[in-house]
Every structure is written in C-alpha cells, then in structure tokens.
Structure 1
Amino acid sequence: MSDVYIIGAGIHPFGRTDHRSGRDQGVYAVRQALDDAGLEWSDIQCAYGGSAASGSADIMVNELGLTGVPFINVANGCATGGSSLASAQYAVASGAYDLALATGFDKHDRGAFNADPKSYGLPEWYGQTGMMLTTQFFALKIQRYMQLHGISRRTLGLVAEKAFRNGAKTDHAWRRSEVDLDTILNAPMINDPLTKYMFCSPAEGGVALILASEKKMRELGADGVKIANIAVRTRPPNSFEVFQPAISIEEGGKPTVLASKAAFEGAGIGPEDVDVAQLQDTESGAEIMHMAENGFCKDGDQEQWLAEGRTEITGKLPVNTDGGCLACGEPIGASGLRQIYENVQQLRGRGGARQVPTQPKVGYSHVYGAPGLAAVAILQR
C-alpha cells in the first residue's frame, strides 16, 4: 500500500443557505478543492461521497461534468464523511488510481434528526418511548459518565464556551458569536444535564478533499498533507451506543476505542504525538467522553484538563479548533470531512485567527455515528 496525500481541500460554509441546495453546496466545495489542487474535474479518476438528506452524491456529475468517473455513494450515519475518506484513501493506496475525491454534503430540516426505528432494526415501541430522540440518549449517557467519573456541569459548559469562542474565529462556522459560561449553564434545559447551547444542530454544508498518490503529488508539485492512517470500526459486544435499547451489566468495548487504537498502531505513533485534534462533539458530553476514548486522557481527567485550558487553541492539545459540531452544526454527509478539512488547514498553517501557534505536524480526527461506529484519521505534515 503506497502513501496517500490530501492535495486539495474545499468547503462550503456551514449553517443555513436558503438559496442553495445541499448538492449545490457540495459542488461548490468540490470546485474549491479542485482550484486548491490546480486540477480540473476531468482529472479526477474516482470519487466517493455521501449525503443523508440531500440525495445521492453521484448526481453531482450533472453540474461538475459527465466524464464517466466511477462515483460511489457512501452511507454510514454521522461517520459518512470519515467512511468516504477511508474509501478514497484505499482506492489510491492500492495503486488502482492516482487521484481521488472524497466529498459530502447535506441540507437538513430545522429541528432534531428524525430517525426511524426500523432503519436500525428496532421495534416501533422504541420510538414511541422517545428513545429515538438522540438528545435523550446523549443526556442519559453523559449523566452516567459524570456520576462514574466526577465530571461537573461546569465542565460541560466550558466545552461549549470554547466551541463558540473558536467558532467566532472561523469563516466556515455557523455560530460566529461567543457565548459566556453563565449563559450556557442557565439556558433552557433540553435534556438534563444538557442545555440548548450544549447541543449541535442539524445544518447545511459541503466539504471536498482531493487525494493523490505520492508520485502524482510530486508530479503536480502540490502542497500535500499525508494521510498516516485511517481506521473505521463498528461496536463490539456489550457496548453502550446510540439507539441501544438497554445497557449491559457487563461493560463492553467501544467502537471509538477500537478505531483509535487501530489508527495509532497503523500510523506508528501514540496520543502524545498529536498536535491538534478534532473530536465528535454532537453535544458537550460527547467531546468529554471522546477525549478519553481516543486515548488523550484518563476517564475523569477531563475536569482538570478543561479547568486548565489544555484543549484551547493555545493549550497542550487543541481540540475542535473551528468550533466543532457545536459551532458549525452537523450536516451528516459533510461533518466528518469538515474535521479533516480543518486539520489540513492547521497543518498547512492556514488557520488564520484560529491557527494553532506551535506549527502542528500531526492532526487527529474522530467521528462517531449511529448506531455505534467510529472513524479515525491521522494526518502528518
């Protein structure tokens, strides 16, 4: 398997764009990525992309051009973006192609995601009890975690406060205004202990990344960021994941732990080598739990980490430097690729006001999706 590099990155701002469809936002991102790489659409040899609410990604060829390119649709919940990237990376690393596209977009209705129990192998009663409402599940999960590991509501608030502070510095973020801690903690409660400022929202946006073999990158003289490794894992026995109807007495493994370990082993590095990280933050509690599940700290250490500012842009391990899902919102097809886009910008030194000042060399991204799968990608400069 040969080395693969990201040589082009494009993004359509997240949030709400009433005059532009989800697919149009994806096309916008692809054209931006092509310009970044100095390529034409006809140069792309294969493509992988996904969308949960805006139609099949392969229909983008109507606008981009009918070149006959093999374009594979990807659907993997919130991990769709990470899975699209993994597919494109495998295609180039295998030697089958020299240039590939990974893309994703979405345009969700306002309000919460409306998941169907049947789609996840669950009976109708599961939805009738309200358990298909993800805000309720995430609240129950973080409640349990807080009690087991001594995490305070204030720490939940600090995660959100950081997200909005970073989002205010990010051109592609939806929420561009800072929100103070007291406002976050005293906002209307959605599901205890999470207030409305501690949740992300379904949103709109598009992201595109162009991948190249090392030979092609050198031939083009492109500015590439190496994909050190990608790992995707589903849930093991006795794990406690989204839409699970009960929690096992015996604690099992976690898909994020499995994906993280596999990614680190494949890259030949450890958590201590990471300079900037993007972690799934569907809500404040998710970022806290994922800090430990990805190996960056022990369970319970997050209380001290947040109090000391270790995850700030200027901290020991900057986390969600563009504001994450909390500030950007979550268009399912694009969200995981936004994380990769942000790390590419950081490793290239293009982060602007949110740029990590220590010249990061290793970027880590983690995305988590229902009903319990995770994708981790490690980039190196």
Structure 2
Amino acid sequence: MTNVHIVGAGIHAFGRHDDKSGLDQGVFAAREALADAGLAWTDMQFGFGGSSAAGNADAVLPRLGLTGIQFVNVANGCATGGSALLAGYWAIKSGEFDLGVVVGFDKHPRGAFNPEPADWGLPDWYGDIGLMLTTQFFGNKINRYMGLHGITPTTLGRVAEKAFENGARTPHAWRREPVGLNAIMSSRMISDPLTQYMFCSPAEGGAALILASDRKMKELGLAGPKVRGAAVRTRVNGSFEVFSPSLDVERGPSPTQLASKAAYEMAGVGPSDIDVAQLQDTESGAEIMHMAENGFCADGEQERLLEEGATRLGGKLPVNTDGGCLACGEPIGASGLRQVYENVQQLRGRAEGRQVEGARMGYSQVYGAPGLSGVVILEA
C-alpha cells in the first residue's frame, strides 16, 4: 500500500471576523492549501470536511468549482478535523485515490459550548444539573484528576502562560499577547479550579490540507511530511469520567489512550521519538491530562515537567507551539486540522519565531465529546 503525504497546508487566522462567514474562512484555507502545493482545484479527486455551526462543509464546492468531485461531510464533535484527515488518509491508503483535500471551518457565537443532552444520547437530568455546560464539566473533571495525582492550580496556570507566550509568536493565533502567571491565577474564577484565562473560547477559523500518494507526489514533483500513523478511537465501558475523588472506581482506557496506542503501533514509534506535540487543550486541565494519556509522562509528573519548562519552546517536548486552543480559540470544524497544519510548518522548518529546532516527528491529538479521540503522527 502507498504512503500518504501532506503536500499542501493552508489556514485562515482564528479569532473573530465579523466581515467573513465561516464558509469564507474555509474557502480561504482551501485556496491557501492548493497554492502551497502548487495545485489547482481541478486536480483534486476527493474531499472530506466538516463544520459544526457554519453549515455543511461541501458548501465550499460552488466557490471552488463544481467539478463532480467526491465530497463527504464529516461530523465528530471537536474531533471533526482529525476524523476528516483520517478519512482522506484511508481514501489514498486504500489505493482508490491519489490526491485530495480535507477542510474544516466554523463560526461560533460567543459564550460557552452547551449542546443539548439529547444531541449526545444522554438523559435530560445530565443537562439539568449543569454538566452539559462545558465549563462545569471540565472543572469537575480536572478537580478529580488533581486530587488523585497531586496537581496544583499553579500548574494549570503554567499551561495557560505557555499558551499565550506561544500565541504571541503565531500569525494565525487569536490571542497574540502574553499573559503572566499572576494575571492568569488571579483572573475571574469560572469553574473551580479553572479561571477565565485557563479556558479556550469558541471561535472562528478555517484550515485545509492537501493529501497525496507516493506515486502522485513523485509524478508532480511535490514534497511534504509523511503520515506515519493516524487513528480515531471511541469510548469503552468504564472509560467515562467519574468526578468525585472519593469514589474508588476502576476505569477502562480512555479514547485518547486507545487512539494513541494504535497510532504509535501503526507508525512504529513511541513517545520518546516525538519532537513536537499538539494536544487538545480546551482548558488547561485537558493539556495536563492528555500529556499522560498520550504517553508523554506518568500521571502526576506534569507538576514537575511544567515547573521545569519541559513543554515550552526549547524544552524537552514543546507542546502546543502555536498556543493551542487557549490562544487560538476553538472553531470545532477547523481545530484538529489546525494542529496538523502547525506540525506541517514545524516539520518543514517554516514556523518562524516558534520553530522547534531539528523537528522530524510531529504528534497531534484531538478529543471530541462525548468520547472519541483522534491522533496523527507525521514524519518530515
């Protein structure tokens, strides 16, 4: 079977753009990706894409060209972008296609994500007690983790401080000013222990990638990182979150642990081989928990690693080098593709101002409620 490469990458800056629709931003990103690869829309053989709040992703077709291309809309929560990429990867890996595009975009209203329980197949009481309000859900989740593994609130603050420092170096980030640790810790409490600056915001933006087979890449003289591993996994019995530290329960593996293990095995590498990582950081606690779930440390080691600066630029394993969701915001359809876009820039040596020296292997992980995770491993 052929290898799959990312030969073009494009992005529309994340944030708030009152003069542009979500579709405008997705079309912009797709055109940027095509230009990056030196290809035309008429070269594309397939498309996969998603948007949560800005209409179906196939709405890009009248704007880019009605060529009869196969296009499939993808919806998988915050993992929509990662799932679209996986679908494109499979389309080429199977030998059915040689060249295609994956695209994601969104334009969310201001305020916390708060979907209806019925949308996720959950009973009404789940929302009635506030757990569908994402801020409370995340606060409860990290509270339990901190109680079990000795993580302090200061470590949550260090995650956010790093994110804003990296965002200040990144042209496509929304929040482009550093925020000091004291300001983060003393900002308005949203859901204990998470303060205002420890949460990402629903946002706008678009991202797109062009995928190619070995054969097509060589035929057209293209170049780009190889997809070494890609996996999406869902929850198993016992994996859902239990919030009370007083309850002694035996949990099953999380979707992130399952997807991570599958991607590492597919790639034939392990956590120690990764040079740069983009991890889901819907809020500071998510990045901390995902560091362990993706195999980069043991539970509880995050306290020391963050204090030592191990995940900062110049550290042992830089994490969320473009500022992640905390600095970029989260447009659901585009967020997972933004992570991969950032790794493509890092592996090409194009991440000016935030470049990880010598980066050869990039890792990205995105989590989609109510329980699935996608992982992509790239090699320069």
TM-score of the alignment, normalized to the shorter chain, above 0.5: yes
Q: Please list, as runs of the form range in 1=range in 2, the aligned pairs for 1:163-202 lying within 5 A after superposition.
A: 163-202=163-202
Q: Which moved more, 1:119-128 or 1:177-186?
A: 119-128
| Structure 1 residue 181, shift from structure 2 partner | 0.1
Q: Is 2:58 the partner of 1:36?
A: no
Secondary structure at the residue paired with 1:343? helix
For residues 122 and 374 of structure 2, what CA distance do their matches in structure 1 show?
24
Residue 293 of structure 2 corresponds to which residue in structure 1?
293
Report Cα offsets for 1:279-326 as digits up to 9, x if no partner: 000000000000000000000000110010000110000000000000
* Alignment-derived partner of residue 127 in structure 1: 127
* 8 Å CA contact 2:174, 2:329 repeated in 1: yes
Q: Which residue in 1 is equivalent to 2:339?
A: 339
CA RMSD of aligned residues (A): 1.2
Q: Distance in 2 between matches of 1:120 and 1:338?
A: 25
Q: State the alpha-carbon separation in 2 of the partners of residues 367 and 285 from structure 1.
A: 14
Alignment check: 8 A CA contact 1:50 1:81 kept:
yes
Equivalent residue for 1:237?
237
For 1:6 and 1:155, the matched residues in 2 are separated by 35
- Greater displacement, 163-172 / 142-151: 142-151
**Conserved 8 A contact 2:231-2:374:** yes
Q: Which residue of 2 aligns with 1:378?
A: 377
Distance in 2 of aligned mates of 1:139 and 1:256 = 19
Matched, 1:22 2:35: no
Matching residue of 1:157: 157
**Which residue does the alignment assign to 1:360?**
359
What is the 5 A alignment of 1:1-381? 1-241=1-241, 249-357=249-357, 359-381=358-380
Q: Is the CA contact (8 Å cut-off) linking 2:141 and 2:242 kept in structure 1? A: no
Aligned length: 377
One-letter identity of the residue aligned with 1:62: P
> Equivalents in 2 of 1:43, 1:192: separation in Å?
51
Q: Which moved more, 1:247-256 or 1:23-32?
A: 247-256
Check the 8 A contact 2:48/2:73 in 1, yes or no.
Answer: yes
Question: Which secondary structure state, in structure 2, belongs to the residue aligned with residue 354 of structure 1?
Answer: coil
Distance 1:273 1:118 in 2: 41
**1:220 Cα deviation from its structure 2 partner:** 1.5
- 1:34 to 1:241, Cα distance in 2 relative to 1, 3 A: farther
**Unaligned 5+ residue runs, structure 1?**
none
Given that residues 242 and 372 in structure 1 are in contact (C-alpha distance below 8 angstroms), is that contact kept between their aligned partners in structure 2?
no
Structure 1 residues 200-258: Cα deviation after superposition (integer angstroms, max 9, x where no partner): 00000000000000111111211211000101000111112499xxx883322111000
1:172-211 deviations in Å (ceiling 9; x for gaps):
0000000000000000000000000000000000000000
- Structure 2: which 5+ runs fail to align? none
Matched-pair identity in %: 67
Q: Which amino acid aligns with 1:249?
A: V
Amino acid at match of 1:85: L
Q: Is the 8 A contact 1:167 1:173 kept in 2?
A: yes
User: Which piece of structure 1 moves more, 111-120 or 64-73?
Assistant: 111-120
- CA–CA distance in structure 2, aligned partners of residues 261 and 173 of structure 1: 30
Whether the aligned pair in 2 keeps the contact of 1:241 and 1:372 (CA below 8 Å) is no
- The question of whether the paired residues in 1 share the 8 Å contact of 2:46 and 2:101 is answered with yes
Give, in angstroms, the shift of residue 125 of structure 1.
2.4
Q: Bigger shift: 126-135 or 35-44?
A: 126-135
